[in-house]
Amino acid sequence: MKKLIYLFIVGFVISTISCNESSDDFLQFSEESETSVMLKNGMLVFSNENAMSKALSGELELPFALSFISKKDLFNRISDTEYEYATSLKDLSDEEYEKCQKHSSLYLESLEKGLIKEEVYEDNSVLYDLDILYPNYAKILNQEGFFGIGNNVYQVTSDELRVWKDCNNLSENNYKVIDTKNSQTKSLFPLKSIDQAVGYYTTDTRVPNDRAIAIFYDKTTLAIPNVKRNIYIRVAYQRKANGRDYTYFATPYTLTASFLLLVNEEEKTVNFEANGTGSNDWYTPYFDYEFMSNTKDSQIYTDNYHYIQRFIIKSLHRPLEVGPIRVKFRGEREGKMSGPFYYDNFDFNDTKPLSPLLPEN
């Protein structure tokens, strides 16, 4: 089977690039640097897509800790500041809390600049995330959402992925839009696939201000003559630092996922497992290779589409204050290639459906 993997990539701030500055060797890598990265004009530049993929998965070290500030660094700074500020409000009375500033100055400034976006839930709690099309790429984006691969430069905005193919012509309008936020599954799709976006969360009386979350996404769109599939598992952990508003909180976790698939009318079972420490991590399962990557990548199918018949997802979070907190749910399709999916939580009362889901960007 031929399967291509789209690795969504991003790029560079036009106002700070000067390609005429040694344009002939702007992105020259040594012959030995098959998978390498350099820092150029405040932007990470990778030798090829393989190098970028390894950086995203942690296989390629980014040796620029002191000189490069990524969007992920900025988000971590906001999260830490917000947690400290929220903690400082926990002893306020309800009347005092209603009158005070609800967020740190850094949070409000970042919100105003469009670095983050927020969503208000039914219980009036507020969740925030980076306001970019692909949040999982934040660790390799500079502050303005750019980086490069070879002689191409890319930018991820809140709703577009842009590419400049000519380093010597980086005018404001000389880019091509590769993907947009509004890409949706066509209503007359030739495959008998079903889009899914389902999540569950678990609370624990030992840490009443915390919740552990697991979400499964499976969305297929046309990429004529092929099809593009965005299939991800998301693991998150949140804490109400002031007893009122959720903020991300990193914990160690173990993620396991099991799928019963139908490929060319034959059943196939695939199992995945991953361990990590984080507050909002994305994983992409590759059914052909029985491998799960700590990235958020689209996949292109030319044939042998994997239909999901049944799945089980389990995340085990380990906050330091208490023992493990488990999120476990499953989904099963009514028919082999027809009907809706049905979901349940294995009758575990502390695990409930998450609605609405966390914002994807």
Closest CA to 148 of 134, 164, 133: 164
Q: Tokens 């979070």 identify what position?
A: 317
In the chain, % of residues over pLDDT 90: 33
pLDDT digits (tens, 9 = 90+) for 151-205: 888 888 888 888 888 666 666 677 888 777 665 433 323 467 788 999 999 999 9
CB 253 within 8 A of CB 275: yes
Q: What's residue 337's pLDDT?
A: 77
- C-alpha span between 332 and 164 (Å, rounded): 43
Q: How many C-beta atoms surround the C-beta of residue 106 within 10 A? A: 16
- C-alpha span between 80 and 76 (Å, rounded): 6
**Mean predicted confidence (pLDDT) in 231-249:** 89
Question: Environment class of residue 13 by beta-carbon count within 10 Å: exposed (0-12), middle (13-18) or buried (19+)?
Answer: middle
Pairing of strands 37-40, 266-278: unpaired
User: Collapsing DSSP states into helix, strand and coil, what is residue 107?
Assistant: helix
Tell me which amino acid residue 336 is.
K
DSSP element (H, E) containing 215: strand 207-223
Q: What is the DSSP code string of 293-360?
A: ESS--EEEESS---EEEEEEEEEEE--TTSS-EEEEEEEEESSSSSS-EEEE-TT-TTEEE-SSPPP-
Q: What's residue 141's pLDDT?
A: 92
Pairing of strands 3-6, 298-301: antiparallel
pLDDT digits (tens, 9 = 90+) for 335-345: 887 788 999 99
Structure tokens at 272: 């995945």
Q: Tokens 């996949």 identify what position?
A: 299
Q: How many C-beta atoms surround the C-beta of residue 348 within 10 A? A: 14
